[in-house]
C-alpha cells in the first residue's frame, strides 16, 4: 500500500495538471493559439533551460561511472532501433509511425526521473548520470525518426534517402534540447560557478518547463480523435511500461546495478512517456493527437506499473 501511495503521489499530480489544461481549454480560457505558442516556447526555451540546470549542477568527475552511462546509452539505442524496425513492419498507417516510435521508447527521464529518485533516496546522484547517458540520445533519435516519418507531401524516395538525411543532421545540430544538454555538460565539466542572479534566472525559467508543458498537453488533447487511435495508444503504452523493463531490467541486474542506479534505470525504461514528445511531434509535423493520447495513458497507468516494478525489485533485494 505504501508503494502504491508513493507512486500515485508522484504520477497523479502530473496527470491532474494535464486535466486542468484540458478543462481550461473546454471552458474557453485557453485556445489553440495558446497551445501552439506554449509548445514552441517550451521546445525552444524552458526545456533546454531545465536540462542545462539539471546537468550543469552535477559534479560529473566525482560521480561518473562509465559502465553505468554506457548501459543507459546502449539500452536506449537498442530500444529505439528495435521499436522503429518493428513499427516499419507492423504499423501500416505511415502517418502515425514517427509519433508511435518516439512515444514508445522515450521516457520522462528528466521530468519525472529525478523526482522519483529523490523521493526514495533523498538525493539524486545517479539521476543526472542517467540523463547524460540517455536523454541526448532520446532527442537525437527523436529528431531522426520524426524527420524521416514527418507527414510532408511530395516526399519521394530521393527525399527520404537524400534530403531527409541532411535535414535530420541539421535538426540534430540546432535542436534546442540537445543544445541545452551540450551546454550543461560543458558547464559541469568546467565546474562553472554562476553568480546568484544568473543561477536564479536559470532556475526560474527551468521551473516553468514541466507545468507549462503539461498544461499545453492537456489543452491540446483531443479526446474523440485519441479514442479513434486507441489500439496504437495501448500498444505503445505496453511497450513503454511493460515490455522494455521486462527485457532490460534483468540485464541491468546481471551487470550488478542496484539501489539508486537500478531505480534510475527503471525510470529510464518504464516511466511514462515524456511531455516533450508532444512538443517535438507538433513542431516536426508528426501526429500530436496520438502522442498526447500515449502520454496521458502512460501517465495514468504508470502509477500502477511502476508500483509493480518497484515491488519486484524490492522483493529481489535490488533496491
SS3 content of the chain, % helix, strand, coil (to 5): 80, 0, 20
* 137 Cβ contact list (under 8 Å, min separation 6): 73, 76, 77, 80
What mean pLDDT is predicted for residues 220-230?
75
Q: How many residues does the chain have?
A: 319
3-state secondary structure of 150: coil
Give residue 130's pLDDT band: very low, low, confident or very high (50, 70, 90).
confident
* pLDDT score recorded for residue 40: 84
Give residue 101's pLDDT band: very low, low, confident or very high (50, 70, 90).
very high
* pLDDT score recorded for residue 162: 59
Is the confidence at residue 241, as pLDDT, over 60? yes
What is the Cα–Cα distance from 226 to 229, expressed in whole angstroms? Answer: 5
How much of the chain, in percent, has pLDDT values that exceed 70? 87
3-state secondary structure of 239: helix
In the structure grid, which three cell numbers stand for residue 224, read together? 474523440
Give residue 213's pLDDT band: very low, low, confident or very high (50, 70, 90).
confident
pLDDT-wise least confident of 14-28, 32-46, 134-148, 168-182: 168-182
* Phi–psi pair at 273, nearest 5 degrees: -60, 135
3-state secondary structure of 107: strand
| Long-range residue pairs from 288-292, CB within 8 A, at least 24 positions apart, any chain | 288/99, 288/220, 289/222, 289/225, 289/226, 289/229, 290/96, 290/99, 290/100, 290/103, 290/226, 290/229, 290/232, 290/233, 291/99, 291/102, 291/103, 292/217, 292/220, 292/221, 292/222, 292/226
* pLDDT score recorded for residue 11: 63
* pLDDT score recorded for residue 232: 93
Is the confidence at residue 32, as pLDDT, over 50? yes
What is the Cα–Cα distance from 303 to 166, expressed in whole angstroms? Answer: 40
Is the confidence at residue 246, as pLDDT, over 90? yes
Is the confidence at residue 122, as pLDDT, over 60? no
What is the Cα–Cα distance from 300 to 18, expressed in whole angstroms? Answer: 11
Is the confidence at residue 222, as pLDDT, over 50? yes
Q: Could you please report the per-residue DSSP string of 38-67? A: HHHHIIIIIHHHHHHHHHHTS-HHHH--HH
* pLDDT score recorded for residue 155: 46
Give residue 251's pLDDT band: very low, low, confident or very high (50, 70, 90).
very high
pLDDT-wise least confident of 28-32, 115-119, 177-181, 254-258: 115-119
What is the Cα–Cα distance from 208 to 285, expressed in whole angstroms? Answer: 24
* pLDDT score recorded for residue 15: 75
Give residue 25's pLDDT band: very low, low, confident or very high (50, 70, 90).
very high
Tens digits of residue pLDDT in 62-75: 778 889 999 999 99
What mean pLDDT is predicted for residues 207-211?
84
What mean pLDDT is predicted for residues 312-319?
83
Is the confidence at residue 221, as pLDDT, over 90? no
What mean pLDDT is predicted for residues 7-21?
76
What mean pLDDT is predicted for residues 85-91?
92
Is the confidence at residue 204, as pLDDT, over 80? yes
Is the confidence at residue 24, as pLDDT, over 90? yes
Which residue has 566525482 as its cell numbers? 62
Taking the CA of residue 186 as centre, how many other CA atoms within 13 Å lie in the half-sphere pointing to its CB? 6
* pLDDT score recorded for residue 124: 60
3-state secondary structure of 273: strand
Per the prediction, the chain carries an average pLDDT of 83
Amino acid at each position: 500500500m505504501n508503494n502504491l501511495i508513493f507512486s500515485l503521489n508522484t504520477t497523479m499530480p502530473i496527470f491532474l495538471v494535464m486535466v486542468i489544461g484540458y478543462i481550461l481549454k473546454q471552458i474557453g480560457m485557453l485556445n489553440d493559439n495558446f497551445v501552439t505558442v506554449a509548445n514552441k516556447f517550451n521546445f525552444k526555451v524552458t526545456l533546454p533551460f531545465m536540462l542545462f540546470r539539471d546537468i550543469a549542477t552535477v559534479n560529473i568527475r566525482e560521480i561518473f561511472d562509465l559502465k553505468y552511462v554506457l548501459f543507459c546509452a546502449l539500452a536506449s539505442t537498442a530500444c529505439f532501433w528495435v521499436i522503429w524496425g518493428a513499427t516499419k513492419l507492423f504499423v501500416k498507417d505511415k502517418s502515425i509511425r514517427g509519433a508511435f516510435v518516439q512515444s514508445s521508447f522515450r521516457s520522462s527521464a528528466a521530468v519525472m526521473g529525478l523526482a522519483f529518485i529523490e523521493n526514495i533516496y533523498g538525493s539524486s546522484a545517479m539521476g543526472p548520470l542517467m540523463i547524460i547517458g540517455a536523454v541526448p540520445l532520446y532527442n537525437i533519435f527523436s529528431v531522426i525518426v520524426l524527420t524521416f516519418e514527418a507527414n510532408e507531401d511530395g516526399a519521394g524516395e530521393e527525399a527520404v534517402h537524400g534530403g531527409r538525411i541532411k535535414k535530420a543532421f541539421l535538426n540534430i545540430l540546432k535542436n534546442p534540447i540537445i543544445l541545452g544538454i551540450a551546454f550543461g555538460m560543458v558547464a559541469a565539466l568546467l565546474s562553472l560557478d554562476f553568480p546568484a542572479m544568473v543561477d536564479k534566472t536559470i532556475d526560474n525559467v527551468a521551473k516553468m518547463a514541466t507545468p507549462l508543458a503539461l498544461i499545453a498537453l492537456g489543452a491540446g488533447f483531443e479526446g474523440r480523435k485519441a479514442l479513434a487511435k486507441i489500439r496504437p495508444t495501448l500498444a505503445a503504452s505496453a511497450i513503454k511500461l511493460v515490455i522494455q523493463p521486462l527485457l532490460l531490467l534483468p540485464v541491468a541486474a546481471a551487470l550488478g546495478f542496484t539501489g539508486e542506479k537500478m531505480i534510475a534505470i527503471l525510470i529510464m525504461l518504464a516511466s511514462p512517456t515524456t511531455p516533450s514528445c508532444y512538443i517535438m511531434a507538433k513542431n516536426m509535423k508528426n501526429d500530436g493527437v496520438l502522442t498526447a493520447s500515449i502520454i496521458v495513458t502512460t501517465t495514468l497507468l504508470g502509477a500502477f506499473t511502476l508500483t509493480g516494478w518497484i515491488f519486484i525489485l524490492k522483493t529481489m533485494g535490488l533496491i
